[in-house]
Structure 1
């Protein structure tokens, strides 16, 4: 833990920078509103379908599943791209915002562990689309 001590007159003021950082992060969550995730999602979903069109099956998946998943692979890739584009690096924060603010827009969200497991399995496709997008810029 990083501490900084200051002398003001005869008083010692101890400031813990880690605690202040945590407080600031918690305040940021309450103050700042996430961008319009649903409109960004629609744009990334269209890009994902164009980039992976020939590889996607009729359900929007890259492989066949014995049980049809709640959310297609294309939608998981699009949500991952939204998360990266908005600069959200915390999976927990992103997931909590999805469930609290956008639950009506994404009624087919799978459980968080299933989402993260599938997202990590689809990482090669996410990187492929990211490279294609960056080459256009």
Structure 2
């Protein structure tokens, strides 16, 4: 399964990337929203995991672009505490799930499996 991972905090981006690769996912890391939009132009991931607050282009714009490319593309958003309005907007734009920062990598792995299972995609392929 191909995952587009968008997070501007370098340490968190690398930690998530390593964890997801370790469990068998193909991960395409991006450190800003503009880079994520470029990646979405070149390939169609099965899942986009994006922070809401990103440099250049917001995670909500990444979400909108992903859903415009394919309604079947799953999207999980990250948000910090206190961003309830952004989370609500993300769901209105089609987000499939959200995770509040800080979170454990095991929690993220479980949410990926849940979202992909609901979309009838093998989360381990």
Which has the bigger relative contact order, CA under 8 A and spacing at least 6? 2
- Is the TM value for this pair above 0.5? no
Considering fraction of residues, name the structure with more strand: 2
Which has the higher Rg, Structure 1 or Structure 2?
1
TM-score, L = length of structure 1: 0.27
